[in-house]
Amino acid sequence: MAIEKCIRQFEVDDVIFEEGSTGRELFVVLDGKVDIAKVNGDRKTVIVTLGKGEFFGEMAVIDGSSRSATAIAAAPKTRVMRINHARFVYLVSQQPAFALMIMDALSKRLRASNAVNFRAAANS
């Protein structure tokens, strides 16, 4: 597949994917910003804002589960590159540094989530 077909551009508030949807790809931010958020009706709680070089959607590409949050473009002309499951498996098998980068990010995100959950439990 030509790389151009894997790149999409979004404007502010465009939804890249919704929580609960299925997808077997991850995305890399090429330009702009992406909010990862929990959306409940009109209320949006931003979990994290990602910028150039950061990625999202890795849980679905790894385990095929539904999306755990909504990804929303947060800057004009936000460009992302989609990496499908087959390409992801190829990169992991051929580029150990890529696999380590994914594991490092997952570990940091899990630690941050655990810290938030611990604080919430301690305050209740």
Q: Please report, in tens digits, the pLDDT of each residue of the chain (124 residues total).
A: 556 689 999 999 999 999 999 989 999 999 999 999 999 988 999 999 999 999 999 989 989 899 999 999 999 999 999 999 999 999 999 999 999 999 998 898 888 878 877 777 778 7
pLDDT of residue 83: 94
pTM recorded for the entire structure? 0.85
pLDDT of residue 95: 93
Question: Which among 106, 88, 24 is positioned nearest to 61, based on CA atoms?
Answer: 24
Question: Which among 85, 99, 80 is positioned nearest to 36, based on CA atoms?
Answer: 80
The residue ranges of DSSP E strands in 6-74, in sequence order, are 7-10, 15-17, 25-31, 34-40, 43-50, 55-56, 70-73
Residues 3-122: name the CATH superfamily. Jelly Rolls (2.60.120.10)
pLDDT of residue 34: 98
Alpha carbon distance 74, 93 (integer Å): 32
